[in-house]
Structure formats: structure tokens, C-alpha cells
Amino acid sequence: MTTLTPNRVQKGILAIDSTLYHFIENEVLPRVGVSSETYWTGFADIVKQFTPINKQLLAKRDEIQQQINQWHLDNPTINGAVDYAKYKQFLKDIGYLLPEGDDFSVSTDNVDAEIASIPGPQLVVPVRNARYALNATNARWGSFYDALYGTDMIDSADGKDKGSSYNPKRGDAVVAYAKGFLDEHFALEQGNYSDVTGFSVVNGKLQVAQGDAATSLKDGSKFVGYKGEASSPTAILLKNNNLHAEIQIDASTPVGKTDPAHITDVLLESAITAIQDCEDSVAAVDAEEKVEAYRNWFGLMNGDLTETFSKGGKTLTRKLNPDREYTTPTGETLVLPGRSLLLIRNVGHLMQNPAVLVDLGDGPEEIFEGMMDALVTPLLTINDIKGNNELSNSRTGSMYIVKPKMHGPEEVKFANDMFAAVEDALSLPRNCLKMGIMDEERRTTVNLKECIRQAKERVIFINTGFLDRTGDEMHTSMNAGPFVRKGEMKSQAWQPAYEQWNVDIGIETGLIGRAQIGKGMWAKPDEMKEMVATKAEHPKAGATTAWVPSPTGATLHSIHYHQVNVKEVQESFKTRERASLDDILTIPLAKDIEWSDDEKRQELDNNAQGILGYVVRWVDQGVGCSKVPDINNVGLMEDRATLRISSQHIANWLHHGIVSEAEVLEALKRMAKVVDEQNQGDPSYYPMAADFEHSIAFQAACDLVFKGREQPSGYTEPLLHQARLKLKSNV
């Protein structure tokens, strides 16, 4: 029976915010062909079944943490020394470190090639922002010329600056770089691409003119298609390591008309996959904000999402790119996806949301948000799963859900069981809801093989994430002693072992050819030269994908997957010794805590500025991910993981007396003024320093630090949600 209450619709045990209810009832259910009664009955049944289990799992997190806290109090360290044999046995005794079962291989099937067999960059984007969501989806193909010209990949020396209009000197450097890339990965039998004066396709083979002479590719199999007439093609499609590059030919463009072969650009297959995020890069604290995210995903899954905006004095409308068609060397039609394959990151098991209130007998309480995501996002994806959409995402009838912040195998099993229940409720095929397991919690890392086992028919993704993983590292061992400075974390024994362990376990459990093994984000979107110089380490480490902060970053990072054959790397790792669990369990404690006052102040300022710069936008503006200037005014792409590591680090130093509460508060106030100055050009920005006491954002930042030790797993979401809801209620 449906009853109405102010701003809510009652459906049995559910009291649904009318914004969410009417979106699902009026926009979604008729379009996906699911009846209202079927959906809401199934929704309520699943909530009733899984809510108590969710609570039990969260209680177990707290119980384990309390036991670890007490162990460290009972076994104090001296100069950072821990009795690791005793510690390891203790972790086994309390069920933190579980026995490892027999070997197995995952059996995930119906996986799209972008995940199973095409290594390449991965974008992560807040799905609540339609423009960003479309940009990421359309980032499957990127202009190499634009990526080079617009970034620091090309230096400004000798008159090569970008300037306010096209600079031919810079353009020449771009062309030379791009042709060097072609020389390296699509080498010619004779000469190089700077000598090329034309292309043609003769008897199914690529013929490359060099003045009066002609040559061809050293490896003819890398030529896979073309556009236009065979005698005078407008595009040449090449393939290397399962990635495509398209040489575009057009004599009418300013660049093309001056090129000997009329090459106007080189288009690179770039963001092979993209995660549309409902979690760490999104601020969505109520039904209004959740529906914005859900509506955009629904548009993506039906192929009709558009966004109109103003740029450079013009009104533009963005929509999804169509697929790309070519003629193969044998004259057949080749169709390649024009869009990144999309995954969606649901919320983890912790958070609750007032969009739905649930009454299981003890009065109404907020629904677990991860459960709501699991019930809503597959509903929004039905047309794509069934192949009934306008522009397809999956071509295998699968939906790809990334599950973050799970602690150990029991929590993975919980998610797996819930996905099965959702499939049954929506009459979807078993295991069509695939699962990505984010290896960002310490209890998941040390039990990763058993976590994967629990989802062995669904898993399509594991990855590492330094910031969240470090945040959990610090919170778990908060009582062990003071941690090293934040900048030293990556040089500690646990970190490289963790990164290798993730790859080793992924290979051992048969992820090659079925699932992605991923690495974390490059956080500096303006520092592309540095990214290209360093991020090649990810495919060399056996990762089939790694996160990038922008479509441009995806285009430039794709270079690395041409340089490295990831499958060959992974095969070579099958015989290496697995990373050391003992190293992973080594707590990053400082052995020398005699830091100078300047060093402590520098550490506090760096952490405090990073916290405030992100929190003020999250709370005041509802922006979950943006380029935030750091203390040195370097723009960093930040999300909630940034807060977790910084707030836990200050909380640790405060707990162990390295710094005082007064020193921390002074740093927060000092850095608030810096953040205010960094944002003074934003007309929608509310300065914190003008009234510290009444600035909800500033108080939230203080809470993240001073209440950091008591936050579940050190997560920042509870305090952030509380602050934003308070701000919205005051508006």
C-alpha cells in the first residue's frame, strides 16, 4: 500500500523521499519495463534481508579495531620497534589475518574486451556532473596533437610558447613528437614519417609514399583499416598492443595543408574505460543530490545524456560520441567503439542516506547508501544490459560496479550476495552485475586472495589506491606510535610490497584475460611531462590500467601501453616470488621523532592546507572532486581520500604528543587564510577566516582532525555529510 507523508512516499517499510520516488516511478520504471509493485516490493525485501547483515559487518570492523587498539597499548613500541611475530599471531587469533585457501582461478564470463584484453588508461569522474561525465565517456579517442600542444609535454624554449594564438614553432615541435611516436611503434620499412608525402591502400596493403619512392610498414599486420577512398584515404587506422592510433589526413586544415602528407592529427585510443563515480569524488548527501547522479547514469546507459553550457561566449551542447567506422584491408566494415566502456563506483558499506528511511521494527532509520546504490543503479542500467539502448555501453550484457572500502572476504561476500538478490528482483541473468574490488583497506590487502574467491564469478577489477590505503594503514595502527612524515610514506616497506602483492594475487587467481589489475591516480593534471616520465611504471608493474585525471592525461598515458606489452609482463611475473606479507604488515612508524619545530610546522601546514582546500568546496559548494591548489599552488585533483590520509596523520601526531592541539588549531587557522586567498577569484566562495566559529566548512575540517581517531576506519564521510546537511538546512 502506498501512502503519502510530507515530502515522502510510504511503500511498506520504506519512506522514500519524493524526489527519488518520482524520478524512479515516472522517469525510470516505464522506460525499463519494470512494474512499480515488482520493483518496490523487491527493494523492501532486499533491504529487510541485508540491513542486519550490514550492521553486523560494521560492528565487526569496530570490534577488530578495538582489539588492535588495545594490543598496541599492551605491547608498546620503543623507537618504532614492533614484535612482528607476536603481532602477526595476534592478527590471526582475532580473525584479521585469515587462512589462505586452495588455489583457484576466477571464472568471470561475458566481460567486454576493454576490461578483459585491452590495457589502457582509466578515467574517474564524478557522475553527478553531466559535463564531466560526458567528457570522460567521450575520451575513448583523443587528439595527440592537442594533448601535446596544450601541455608542458612541449617546452616553451626557443620561441615555442603557447601564446594567445597558434604558434607554428610549437606546432612543428608537436608534429615532430607525434611522428617520432609513429616511428617507434609503427615503423616503416624505409625512412621515417617525416619523409612521408602520402598514403594509399593497394591490394589490401598500406603503401606509404616518400616523394618518388614508396615504402610500407615493417609489420604489415599493424595496418587494420582506413577511411575514404583506397587511393586517397582520409584516415589510416593502425594497431599496436591492442590499442589503435588513427592518422588523420586533411589538406584543408591549417596544419594539414603545410604537412607533406597532409597529416592534420594523430588520434590515439585513450581512455579505454571510465569509472562514473558515486563515491569519493561526489558530494551527494540527500535525495536531491543522489538523483542528480542517478539521472546522469541513466542518460549514459540509454545513450541520450546531453549537457548544454557556455564556453568562450558560445553555447555548446555535449552528447555521446557515435561509434567509428572504417574499411578493413580486405574491404569489410570495421566498427570501433566511440566511447569509453563505463563502470560505476557505488558507495561502500558504511554510509547511510536520508533519501530512503527504513523501519525494521525499531523506528525509521536511514538506508545504507551502498545498498540503495545496488538497488537503483542496476535498475537504471537494464536497457543497456538487455541491449535496448541507443548507444551501447556493454556489448556482452554486463554491468560493471566498482565496490570501494570493503574490509575482508566477509564484506565481499555480502556485496556478492546482495548483487545476486538484486539480479533476482530485477529478473536479470545471474552474474551480469560484475564487481570491481578496490584494494584500499588493509584487511582486504592481507586477505586479497580470499576476497577475490568470494566474487570469483563476478570480479572484473582489482586495484591499489595509495591515499585511502595509507589512511587505513594509519587508523588501524593509530596506537602503535607516531608515523613517519606523510611524504615518506611511499618509501616505507609496506607500500611497494602492497603494490606488488596486488598484482601477484591478481595473476595467481587468473585475472589475466578476464579482469583489470589497476593502479592509482596521477593527481597533478597540469604536470603532464612529469606524468609521462613516471607513469610508465604502472604497465611495467603488470597493471592493465591506471587512473588519470583528465581526457588529456588519458591520451598521453596511452603512450605507455604502446611501449609496454602488459600481457607479456604479466606472463613473466607468473614465476616470480610473491611479495612479502611481512613487509605489508610492517607499520610505517617513525624511528626518530626528534623533528625540529620548523619540520613539524611544515608538516602541519601541508596537511591542514590540503584538508581545508578540499573541505571548503565539498561542504559549501557540493563539489566532490576538483583541482585544488596545494600549499605550493600546484593544482592537485583531490577527492575524499586526500582528507583521510591528511586528517589521520595529524590525528596520529596529536595523539602521540608530537604536536599540541593549540599548534594544530593555529595551523588550521593560518592555512584557512591561505585557502581563502587561493579562492578569492571564485564568486561563489565563502571565506572561512572571516568567521572561524560560524564557518561550517572550517568546523568540519577541525572535526576531521580532532575527532579523527574516533571516526570509523578514519573515514571522512560521516563528518562531511553532517556538515553539508547542516549547511543545506540553514540555506
What are the pLDDT digits (tens) for 161-180? 998 899 999 999 999 999 99
What is d(CA 6, CA 24) in angstroms, rounded to the nearest whole number?
A: 18
Rounded to 5°, angle at Cα 550 from 376 and 404: 40
DSSP β-bridge partners for residue 106: none
Portion of the chain with pLDDT greater than 90, in percent: 94
Residues 6+ apart with CB under 8 A from 674: 609, 631
Residue whose C-alpha cell reads 543497456 in the numeric block = 384
What is d(CA 115, CA 515) in angstroms, rounded to the nearest whole number?
A: 6
Helix residue spans in 464-596 (DSSP H): 466-476, 494-508, 528-534, 537-540, 551-563, 566-573, 581-584
CATH among 1.10.150.670, 3.40.50.1370, 1.20.1220.12, 3.30.70.2740 for 597-730: 1.20.1220.12
Residue whose C-alpha cell reads 538478490 in the numeric block = 421
Pinpoint the residues of the chain covered by CATH 2.170.170.11: 143-269
Q: Which of 442, 467, 474 shows the shortest CA–CA distance to 590? A: 474
pLDDT of residue 5: 54
Residues 6+ apart with CB under 8 A from 466: 489, 490, 495, 520
618 with 720: CB under 8 angstroms?
yes
Give tens-digit pLDDT for 113-123: 999 999 999 99
Q: Are strands 516-519 and 545-548 parallel, antiparallel or unpaired?
A: parallel
353 with 720: CB under 8 angstroms?
no
Residues 6+ apart with CB under 8 A from 171: 149, 255
Q: What is the mean pLDDT of residues 479-484?
A: 97
Burial 290-319 (b: 16+ CB within 10 A, else e): bbbbbbbbbbbbbbebebeeeeeeeeeebb
pLDDT of residue 310: 86
Give tens-digit pLDDT for 412-423: 999 999 999 999
Q: What is the mean pLDDT of residues 488-509?
A: 97
What is d(CA 366, CA 722) in angstroms, rounded to the nearest whole number?
A: 13
Supply the DSSP symbol for 527.
-
Burial class (CB in 10 A: 0-12, 13-18, 19+), 187: middle
Q: Tell me if residue 342 falls in helix, strand or coil.
A: strand
Instruction: Supply the mean pLDDT for the chain.
Output: 96
Q: Does 79 have pLDDT greater than 90? A: no
H or E stretch at 710: none
Q: Which of 587, 606, 350, 594 shows the shortest CA–CA distance to 479? A: 587
What is d(CA 192, CA 180) in angstroms, rounded to the nearest whole number?
A: 8
Give tens-digit pLDDT for 266-305: 999 999 999 999 999 999 999 999 999 999 999 999 999 9
Give tens-digit pLDDT for 22-74: 999 999 999 999 999 999 999 999 999 999 999 999 999 999 999 999 999 99
Pinpoint the residues of the chain covered by CATH 1.20.1220.12: 597-730
Write the class of the CATH domain 143-269.
mainly beta
Give tens-digit pLDDT for 183-225: 999 999 999 999 999 999 999 999 999 999 999 999 999 999 9
402 with 343: CB under 8 angstroms?
yes
Distances in Å between the Cα of 674 and the Cα atoms of 117, 605, 623 are 46, 10, 19
pLDDT of residue 6: 62
Q: For the packed helices 466-476 and 640-655, what is the interaxial angle rounded to 10 degrees?
A: 30
637 with 521: CB under 8 angstroms?
yes
What is d(CA 606, CA 617) in angstroms, rounded to the nearest whole number?
A: 18
Q: How confident is the model at residue 723 (pLDDT cuts 50, 70, 90)?
A: very high
What is d(CA 562, CA 101) in angstroms, rounded to the nearest whole number?
A: 37
Which amino acid is residue 641, in one-letter code? A
Q: Which of 183, 206, 193, 196 shows the shortest CA–CA distance to 327? A: 206
Residues 6+ apart with CB under 8 A from 287: 17, 18, 19, 20, 353, 354, 355
Q: What is the mean pLDDT of residues 689-693?
A: 96
Q: Which of 545, 553, 494, 482 shows the shortest CA–CA distance to 523? A: 553
Q: How confident is the model at residue 638 (pLDDT cuts 50, 70, 90)?
A: confident
Give tens-digit pLDDT for 579-635: 999 999 999 999 999 999 999 999 999 999 999 999 999 999 999 998 888 888 999
Q: How confident is the model at residue 341 (pLDDT cuts 50, 70, 90)?
A: very high
Torsion region of 284: left, alpha or beta (phi above 0 gives left; psi -120 to 50 gives alpha): beta
Which amino acid is residue 704, in one-letter code? L
Three-state SS for 274-330 is EEEECCCCCCCCCHHHHHHHHHHHHHHHHCCCEEEEEECCEEEEEECCCCEEEECCC
Grid coordinates given for 558: 596511452
DSSP β-bridge partners for residue 143: 267
Q: Does 3 have pLDDT greater than 80? A: no
Could you list the active site residues?
345, 639
Q: Does 1 have pLDDT greater than 70? A: no
Q: How confident is the model at residue 4 (pLDDT cuts 50, 70, 90)?
A: very low
pLDDT of residue 291: 98
CB-facing half-sphere around the CA of 702: CA atoms within 13 A? 20
What is d(CA 595, CA 593) in angstroms, rounded to the nearest whole number?
A: 6
pLDDT of residue 2: 44
Which amino acid is residue 318, in one-letter code? R
What is d(CA 706, CA 698) in angstroms, rounded to the nearest whole number?
A: 12
57 with 414: CB under 8 angstroms?
yes
Q: How confident is the model at residue 677 (pLDDT cuts 50, 70, 90)?
A: very high
Rounded to the nearest 5°, which phi and psi values hold at 547? -80, 145
